[in-house]
Amino acid sequence: MYSDDKLHEECGIFGIYAPDREAARRTFFGLYALQHRGQEGAGIVSCDGRMAHIHKGMGLVSQVFNEENLRYLQGHMAIGHTRYSTTGSTKLRNTQPYILETLDGPLAIGHNGNLINAPQLRRELLERGVGLQTSTDSEVIIHLLAGAGGPDWPTRIRIMMAKAEGAYSLVILTREAIYGVRDPWGLRPLVLGELEGGHVLASESCAFATIGARMIREIQPGEIVRLDHNGYEIMQGAPPQKLAFCTFEQIYFARPDSVLNGRLVHQVRQKLGRQLAKEAPVKADIVIPVPDSGTPHAIGYAQKSGIPYSEGLIKSRYIGRTFIEPTDQLRKVGVAMKFNPLPDNLKGRRVIMVDDSIVRGNTSGPLVQLLRDAGAREVHVRVACPPIKFPCFMGVDMATQAELIAANKSIDEICEHIGADSLAFLSISGMMKALKATDGYCNACFTGEYPFQTPIPLIELQEKEKFPQVWGN
């Protein structure tokens, strides 16, 4: 595949305790709504209070599941996971949920995030004689839970939370209940919903409407929620730290119809676009998005600038979701495999192209050239977030710092590199103004200031640079 210039969220998680035996089927539709959070693998574990059943595979949710294997997933409880892997770990054995048999019955987890102390915890497990079969920190978490000791699962979860440092939103299945867990910094999202006779957990609220559920509230940093036949119970699992919710959930990852931090994501993105128009105006004839993620940003930019919104690029939404490798000749066409221009909208026009982010810079240049070839007279690129200068260690599949174009080139140099007439990024202060916040977000990829009190050890930075396959879920 041509080299994508987008950040990738690691995964989506879903959990349900329902009165009927259709938990797995509801989980399928919940995962379907969370497909944007991961397209490489999916899995579901169900339980009837005695036995657990699992099915998982590589590919999209609709490719992994069918009527036959869903009938096998019996029970009134289920958790599900849809995954985007880090480099080197696109393997079935790394696909979640993970499941173990314990003295207290089955234990299964789905994890969204990344532990920054995963190498240390992994070594400790191996020294204890625990055999690990995968290259993920999610497997580390399930073994921490299974070996935690304690009289009940909430106690064991608290013990795990005291050891794990980093980003984790979890759905956990036991013989008697479903648990949801959010890390003390609130780096990754987790929301609680209600449906007739039962309750659900998901990475995003967009998963609820699909199954006829309604959102109750967002799980707060450090909280544990238990779903069982009595309803739901929320308890504090670890002391909350300074909130550091991932800014990119608002900018790019989350589906526009989800609610995060009490606000509809689509509206937040329009505000980012309006702020960008205030900070970086330019004379032009039309504003176009890089679809689909740049669309609400471009709408906001057009609203504030008064320049007409239009479409200049049509995106094929399925090119990036195939395991069929293109030939060398097809790789050369690159962006043209995924985007087609609309010449009648572009010819002779001064165009503002709005995107949500620039990571490596290897897509923006071909897009600019695509617009010029279609007749655009000028192409001005506007980016609805600040320059990305630092890698993420909290669950985002991001390039190493050497690959991040903004870490190695000035804005003028990036502009020249992509062949634009002008280039501007949203400022950090402008971004926070649009988010209506002074803090509460993790902006480490922009600032290099990571949210953890314990600095990420240099050896771990080097391990991610050299061996990315051992990082992430």
Residue 254 belongs to some domain of the structure? no
**Number of compact structural domains in the chain:** 2
Residue 407 belongs to some domain of the structure? yes
Q: Which residues contact 37 (CB under 8 A, 6 or more apart)?
A: 9, 10, 11, 12, 82, 84, 112, 203, 204, 253
CA within 13 Å, CB half, 125: 25
Residue 248 belongs to some domain of the structure? no
Residue 455 belongs to some domain of the structure? no
pTM here? 0.91
For residue 148, the enclosing domain spans 8-242
Check whether 356 is labelled as a binding-site residue.
yes
Determine how many CB atoms are found less than 10 A away from the CB of residue 61.
25
Q: Are residues 143 and 41 in the same domain?
A: yes
Please give the Cα distance from 111 to 101 (Å, whole number): 18
Check whether 442 is labelled as a binding-site residue.
yes
Check whether 285 is labelled as a binding-site residue.
no
Tokens of residue 182, six digits: 């959010």
Tokens of residue 425, six digits: 């990024």
Known catalytic residues are 11
Check whether 412 is labelled as a binding-site residue.
no
Print pLDDT tens along the chain (473 aa). Answer: 334 566 655 699 999 999 888 999 999 999 999 999 998 899 999 999 999 999 999 999 999 999 999 999 999 999 999 987 643 355 788 899 999 999 999 999 999 999 989 889 999 999 998 988 887 899 999 999 999 989 999 999 999 999 999 999 999 999 999 999 999 999 999 999 999 989 999 999 999 999 999 999 999 999 999 999 999 999 999 999 999 999 999 999 999 999 999 999 999 999 999 999 999 999 999 999 999 999 999 999 999 999 999 999 999 876 655 555 567 666 666 777 789 999 999 999 999 999 999 999 989 999 999 999 999 999 999 999 999 999 888 877 666 888 899 999 999 999 999 999 999 999 999 999 999 999 999 999 999 999 886 555 443 444 444 434 333 44
Helices marked H in 82-203: 118-127, 137-146, 153-163
Q: Is 242 helix (H, G, I), strand (E, B) or coil?
A: coil
Q: Residue 462 burial by CB count (10 A; 0-12/13-18/19+): exposed, middle or buried?
A: exposed
* CB 108 within 8 Å of CB 157: no
Determine how many CB atoms are found less than 10 A away from the CB of residue 191.
24
Check whether 355 is labelled as a binding-site residue.
yes
Q: Are residues 57 and 189 in the same domain?
A: yes
Q: Are residues 222 and 266 in the same domain?
A: no
Q: For residue 5, which phi and psi values (nearest 5 degrees)?
A: -115, 30
Q: Are residues 186 and 119 in the same domain?
A: yes
Tokens 């509230």 — which residue?
217
Domain closes at, from 242, 273, 302: 242
CA within 13 Å, CB half, 292: 10
Check whether 47 is labelled as a binding-site residue.
no
Check whether 293 is labelled as a binding-site residue.
yes
Q: Are residues 146 and 273 in the same domain?
A: no
